[in-house]
Structure 1
Amino acid sequence: MWAHTVVAAMGRRRSAVAFRGHGVARTHGESRDRAVRFAHALGTGPGDRVALVVEDRADGVEAYLGVGLTGATAVHVNDRLAVPEIAEVLARSGAGTVVVTAGHVERLEDTLRGLDVVTPSRYRDMVAAGSTAVPRTPGDPDLPGIVGFTSGTTGRPKGVVHTHRNLDRIVRHMPAHDGLRWGSRCGFTGTLAFVAGIWGVVLPHLYVGGEISFLAGLDPERWVGTMIAERTNFTYAPTPLMTAFADAVRKRPAVLDHLDGVLHSGSLASRDAVADLVDAIGPRYVETYGMTETGAPVTATVPDDWRAGCAASDPYASAGRAVPIASVSIVGPDGEPLPAGETGEIVVRSETLFSGYLDGAPAGDSVRTGDLGALDDAGYLYVRGRSKDMIVTGGMNVFPAEVEQVLALGDGVAEVAVFGVAHPRWGETVTAAVVPRPGAAVDTAALDVLVRERLASYKKPTSIHVVDALPRTASLKVRKDELQRRFGAS
């Protein structure tokens, strides 16, 4: 259903470029035909599961479309995972067929033994000949369409199921959500390693007859230069690159002549980084909040949020307000709603919620996210971090995001993570790890003074560690559990 929607749209712009990057420029017509041929050759159908371990290539997207056209379930596998992690996901997925691109054939050889593997050479043979007539929409649209696994910073990742019908809804919704024009050209700095990038950015751009240019890994100077050359309309700003991207835009403001939107989502950014980027690009900035289980984001900022008169208490610290298809509430430990301004667990409802976990119980009509946040009087959401990351020191609650926002104001600070470690008297004590900007030094004593001036004394880190980089998961989330193990003894 979702794949038929996207393929039909691609057929209306056959001669327009659909994909650029890695030495390839492929049109909508070419990719549409390759996806259809792959579907015919694949031989799967409703109820079958096909795992995909693919790099940022047109072939990878075509493979997703081909699986969807057959009515089978595409199981997304983050290709940044280590081999044992991939092996676990494949074992849990129940997939009998696995599609892999060139960079993974050798390292996964042992893992894939005994499975039906579509290698690059086999893929080329499958799309070289055959019918380009789109298969009939098969099976039940409420069967699983794509399964995406959560990051799993603690515990095992969970397989999140979105039906064919829901994916179709997401693809049709996202252009309005992100303000995509017909034929929008996307500088895709995300990767196919993240399933939300597939259904939230790549497929919606194909649906509007747009173009995906694979830019992941480029430094901000080359990123902006490529967008100028390709007259890019839309891009994604990863948290670690926000400030450098803002600086690159200031050096080459011609990029703003055609840039409509710059999306940020997926991890908390400091208030200063947001304010700096908005200063550089203006109301093009879009902040959203969502998760794998919600499919599409449930909150978003709009251009007027960056202009005078915004009703938010602090737009630069906000994830915007609930989008029309969703609602957001904040609840206490008893599950009862909390008034504006109070911090509790974020609970969301949306027309694009997942249907349940892989081989598990179905989802309800709302999701308790496990994230902490608050709503202001105007309905803007402020995310405070994960509930499991909340620090209880001497009976007082400390929300790491609040302390991180202050530490990020310090001279020379590029990134910061605040976490709790065990303490014999207070239960937990507040601890921080900071990454300096390139070529800069961080004065931890000055940071100590900064926090004392702005926050209650019990929120001040009792130790601040300067590190070269923050440990992250394959989906770039900070591994605070690893920081706790590293610095807990001290």
Structure 2
Amino acid sequence: MLTYSRDEIAAYLDGVVDLEPTPDAAGLLDGVAEELHALDRRPGEVVLVALANGAALLRCFFGVLLAGGVPALVPPGTPTGRIREIADRIGARTLITTGHPADPPGRQLGPVQVETLTGVLPQRHEPGHVVILTSGTSGVASGCLHRFSSLTRNAARHARSVGLRADDTILVNLPLYFSYALVAQALAGLVTGARLVIAGPPFTPAAYWTAVREHAVTSSSVTPYMVRGLVAADWRPPPSLRMLTVGGESLDPATAGAVLDRSPGLEFYLTYGLTEAGPRVSTLAAHREPRRRLGTVGRPLDGVRVALRDPGPDGVGELLVTSDTVLRRKVGVAEGRVGDCLVGPDQIATGDLFLLDDDGYLHFRGRLSDFVVTGGTKVSLASVRRIANALPNVIASATRTYQAHDGTRFDLDLYLYEADPVVAEEVRRELRRQLVRAEWPSRIRTLSLRDLGHK
């Protein structure tokens, strides 16, 4: 069950500042719960929520929970076919959205539509749970089932590790369907009483600076991709900004040092986590550490234990995380090796390679899994290849990663039955239609049967 009452949640949401407010959204908290009851949805059914960042999204998220449902946030730009695949795999017959016309048409509820996805066999879990989709961790149609109470517990631990307070104002400009933004910001605000200011994406240094300054933001969370953009723009933090936290992937020491050099007095935290862990795992208070530690992600949060599996002669091994906030189980179809990440009671294998030094600091060394972080977003290469392989005229596909000046990128090779330019262009166009923007390869090569070695 929920650890917060309806009135506590409503009071928190009433304090949210929405930089792009949705008209008539105030009634969604109760309206969603009433609509799900009217549709005779059973307790524990999964409900997809595909909305842009904003208070309306959070009202729908909590409305589903208060109705006894299990919310799953989906990127609002997800193609209709992908929405349907996710719904089929995780058993969600209800979609709350503004941009995915359904047949039959959905029911209007203020600014959103509540749609019934026909033909989906509903799956049920215990009320008080949340599904967080993991397109970058284990495939486009899978997710992690978490207790809401464990997510708020993780949020409280993260908040303590970065010193988040009730008088803070948190800028949320990361997508709320990211576990980082949902837990370390939105739910951290709930557990501490801090105020939320919700903005974009997309991210630009100028818009970010304006939002921080105009709303007296004291706490902000960004990805390394964003940090590099700020540093390149010669950004200096406005006076109100007390702390900046970084997560999503590791930040190189040079960029971390540049932030510290131009931000005297700023509290600067480097963090590590993954959705399966609930999600936050460790924190480094970089402003209090010697520069030699800027290449680490700190030490585990209170209540989190770590160990290395099969360390090599260099001391590097796969990180195991033990915590009472790890996922209950996977839902949907997992692609890649992280699908069986639960390896013991409350313990997961992360698929990430680390060195654990004598002082307990974690040094990220790479990934075992078939994923990359590109443009600040995790991308499952296994999912990209699976979607490509299902296209007409495609025999097989291969992905190749490389380091660009702004981070990791990947190319895609498509092996076709016909190498005709017209066919190749049709395949490219259909692939882009089915992929979300972060999954688009930098380059696509179309090759013939003989290039694959077939006779």
Q: Could you state the TM-score of these two structures normalised by the residue count of structure 2?
A: 0.71
In 2, Cα distance between equivalents of 1:431 and 1:24: 39
- Give the Cα–Cα distance (whole angstroms) in 1 for the partners of residues 162 and 248 of structure 2: 15
Q: Which amino acid counterpart does residue 271 of structure 2 have in structure 1?
A: T
Residue 17 of structure 1 aligns with which residue? 15
* Equivalence for 2:34: 40
Alpha-carbon distance in structure 2 between the residues aligned to 1:245 and 1:6: 39
Which residue identity is paired with 2:227?
A: M
Deviations 1:58-117 (CA, angstroms, capped at 9, x unpaired):
11110001001112111222334333322211111211211003xx2xxx32xx435x84
Cα drift, residue 368 of structure 1: 0.7
Provide the secondary structure at the position in 1 that maps to 2:16.
Answer: strand
Q: 1:86 to 1:214 in 2, by over 3 A?
A: same
Counterparts of 1:154-233 in structure 2, within 5 Å, are 157-207=141-191, 208-233=193-218
Asked if residue 56 in structure 1 is aligned to residue 53 in structure 2, the reply is: yes
Contact in 1 for aligned 2:89/2:332 (Cα 8 Å)? no
SS at match of 2:4: helix
Structure 1 residue 299, shift from structure 2 partner: 0.7
Residues 53 and 78 of structure 1 are in contact (CA less than 8 Å); yes or no, is this contact kept in structure 2?
yes
RMSD: 4.0
Task: Specify which structure has the bigger relative contact order, considering alpha-carbon pairs within 8 angstroms and separated by 6 or more residues.
Answer: 2
Q: Within 5 Å, which residues of 2 pair with 1:330-409?
A: 330-332=308-310, 342-358=315-331, 363=342, 364=344, 365-388=346-369
Deviations 1:237-275 (A, max 9, x none): 222221332365x6555x1x3212212111233222222
Deviation of 1:193 (Å): 3.4
Aligned residue for 1:193, secondary structure, equals: coil
Q: Partner of 2:304 in structure 1?
A: 326
Cα distance change of structure 1 residues 379 and 353 upon mapping to structure 2, 3 Å threshold: same
Task: Decide whether aligned partners of structure 1 residues 373 and 252 sit closer, same or farther in structure 2, where only a CA change above 3 A counts.
Answer: closer
2 CA distance for matches of 1:297 and 1:271?
Answer: 21
Alpha-carbon distance in structure 1 between the residues aligned to 2:446 and 2:250: 22
Percent of pairs with identical residues: 21
C-alpha distance in 2, partners of 1:209/1:7? 17
Q: Counterpart of 1:316? A: 294
Partner of 2:274: 291
Partner of 1:149: 133
Unaligned runs of 5+ in 1: 126-139, 391-399, 402-413, 420-429, 438-470
- What number of residue pairs does the alignment pair up? 378
Question: Any idea what SS the aligned residue of 2:354 has?
Answer: strand
Partner of residue 404 from structure 2, selected from 407, 419, 434? 434
Is 1:98–1:118's contact at 8 Å kept on the other side of the alignment?
Answer: no
Tell me the amino acid that sits aligned with residue 90 of structure 1. Answer: A
Distance 1:338 1:2 in 2: 43
1:113 aligns with 2:93: no
The verdict on how the C-alpha distance between 1:270 and 1:369 changes in structure 2, with shifts beyond 3 A counting, is same
Which structure has more strand as a fraction of its residues? 2
1:265 alignment counterpart: 247
Question: Is residue 4 from structure 1 mapped to residue 4 from structure 2 by the alignment?
Answer: yes
Judging changes above 3 Å, is the alpha-carbon distance between structure 1 residues 9 and 87 closer, same or farther for their aligned structure 2 residues? closer
SS of the residue corresponding to residue 176 of structure 1 reads: helix
CA distance 1:36–1:273, shift in 2 (3 Å): same
2:210 aligned partner, one-letter code: G
